[in-house]
Amino acid sequence: MPATTGKKYIERINDLHSDVWVDGKPIQGKISEHTAFKGVMKSQAALYDMQHDTSLREIMTYTSPLTDQLVGTSYLQPKTQEDLVKRRKMIQQWALSSNGMLGRSPDYMNTVIMALASSAPFLKGKENCFPERLVNFYEYARENDLSLTHSFVNPQVNRAQFYLEDIDDEPIAAKVIDRNEEGIIVKGARLLATRGGVTDELVVFSAGGIQDKANGFAFSIPSNQKGLKFICRESFVGGESTFNYPLSSRYEEMDSIVVFNDVLVPWERVFYYDNLLVSNTFATKSSFLPFSIHQAISRQIVKTEFVLGLVQAIIDSINIGEYLHVQEKTSEIIIALETLKALVIKSEVEAKFDEWEVLRPDQKTLQVASNIYPKVYARFSEIIQQISASGIMTIPTENAFQSELRADLDHYLQSNLDDAKTRVKLFRLAWELTMSAFGTREMQYERYFYGDPVKLASQLYYTYEKELYVKRVREFLI
Ligand SMILES: Cc1cc2nc3c(=O)[nH]c(=O)nc-3n(C[C@H](O)[C@H](O)[C@H](O)COP(=O)(O)OP(=O)(O)OC[C@H]3O[C@@H](n4cnc5c(N)ncnc54)[C@H](O)[C@@H]3O)c2cc1C
């Protein structure tokens, strides 16, 4: 059955033995048993198993157009509004299992590769572009339920507008340095790849801003391709105890720098290269934006519901619901939640067929949502901290509850609603979500994973149709 299982996913990734470095050491042995990865891999495995739950199969899978087998819904190229709704329901079903903390559940990249392949005809007839290879890869990924990560951004060396790397120097930003009958040779680095090293493949494509055509390409390679290395930051897993670290023990996704040391990308995996115009326009001409934002917002809705639940649970626990500012802060979350829900549905209702007969959710509506979330998510953290006050610091560990301190803790840390242990678990969750390394990384993730919010706002400004309204003002003034 093409829709994979958790066991197969874990075996596949272990068998790759990709070159992944944590804390200056390469991972030896099974990556699924490494402390930095075991929680998140287990959580991802559980997602794949959901595809085989008969009560969820209708949402999680659909029949492959190539075989009569069931494949994952996140690969579905929507042709009807029902397809779009089915995609959202599937995304939210997976998101529910981590309450939206897995920003890179596999449906994100499945969606991206589906969107790019759906727009493959854009590449047709263009120099050094190979649309059929992109479609082949999408079908291969779908039929084998591959897990993918990606890297779009060049290293943060010099972000001045007209900075160009010296072509005579050793490359820093990954570039094509050679080509031969087997493929292109890539050298340099890309940042960042969340989950780099625990996916089957790495997809690399240029999302714009390319000034040197050697830096512009799109391809996918196995994570264990010779010369490919993932350099991880330190792990933010606090520990294995779900009492102490309810989130990082399960959902720490890891981020890595990707280094290409003369990596051969075989021709059948090169989707385009050496074409400045395509490297700078494919991301916006393709359906990448509407579909990837539709996935992200659907997940963020689930995450926002969880934040609201957490805030209200804290309010109930220490009985602060009568205060107006607490009500106002909670309402801020409700307003954000209902706004996001409305926008995602609006994007589906206003979906239109693109020139390649794929039903795209309305892009401008989704762009609005993606401009909202980086701001409101940071505010959610602040609200949780403000309503928790010292509660977020009175959080003894699981060991403390198993020590002779237990009687003191039970007495002094009880709350209006909860016994001490329940109350501490609740506040540990609040702490981990907003103040731990895991939690602050979550904030940075929601701020930046979709790109620089400043550029997202600028993109919205330039692409939004404003002329009609200007005309109304002009006519009013006549
Ligand atoms: C947790 C996390 C996970 C991520 N995972 C991935 C991943 O898996 N794959 C991936 O490809 N990327 C990933 N990213 C990277 C993400 O795409 C980038 O962070 C984002 O595109 C912004 O780019 P940058 O970080 O290089 O910021 P920079 O572009 O270096 O920006 C730094 C500062 O300079 C300002 N600035 C820079 N250029 C301009 C300009 N032209 N105009 C105005 N202001 C400017 C920015 O506003 C910002 O304040 C991740 C990021 C984070 C934080």
Burial class (CB in 10 A: 0-12, 13-18, 19+), 212: middle
Pocket residues: Cβ below 6 A from ligand 1: 150-153, 156, 159, 161, 192-194, 255, 441, 444-445, 448-449, 451-452, 454
Q: How do strand 183-194 and strand 61-63 relate by DSSP bridges?
A: unpaired
How far, in Å, from the CA of 172 to the mean position of ligand 1? 17
Q: Is pLDDT of 162 > 90?
A: no
Q: Whose CA is nearest to atom 20 of ligand 1?
A: 451
pLDDT at residue 211, as a whole number: 87
How far, in Å, from the CA of 186 to the mean position of ligand 1? 22
C-alpha pair distances (Å), 38 with each of 114, 239, 437: 28, 11, 18
How far, in Å, from the CA of 452 to the mean position of ligand 1? 5
What domains appear along the chain, each with residue ranges and CATH number? 6-275 (2.40.110.10), 287-477 (1.20.140.10)
Angle at which helix 81-98 crosses helix 38-50, to 10 degrees, equals 140
C-alpha pair distances (Å), 379 with each of 278, 374, 434, 453: 38, 9, 10, 15
Q: Which atom of ligand 1 is nearest to the CA of 190?
A: 11
Q: pLDDT tens digits, residue range 217-270? A: 999 999 999 999 999 999 999 999 999 999 999 999 999 999 999 999 999 999
Amino acid identity at 252: E
As a whole number of angstroms, the distance between CA 66 and CA 111 comes to 18
The answer to whether 291 and 114 have CB atoms below 8 angstroms apart is: yes
pTM value? 0.97
Q: pLDDT tens digits, residue range 8-27? A: 999 999 999 999 999 999 99
pLDDT at residue 1, as a whole number: 61
Q: pLDDT tens digits, residue range 352-404? A: 999 999 999 999 999 999 999 999 999 999 999 999 999 999 999 999 999 99
> Percent of the chain scored above 90 by pLDDT?
95
C-alpha pair distances (Å), 189 with each of 151, 193, 259: 10, 11, 4
Q: pLDDT tens digits, residue range 95-121? A: 999 999 999 999 999 999 999 999 999
Q: Which residues contact 211 (CB under 8 A, 6 or more apart)?
A: 162, 164
How far, in Å, from the CA of 322 to the mean position of ligand 1? 41
SS3 category, 469: helix
What average pLDDT does the structure give for the chain?
97
**DSSP category for residue 146:** -
Q: Is pLDDT of 3 > 90?
A: yes
Task: Give the residue, out of 452, 455, 459, with the most ligand 1 atoms within 8 A of its beta carbon, to mutate for a pocket test.
Answer: 452
pLDDT band at residue 168 using 50, 70 and 90 as cut-offs: confident
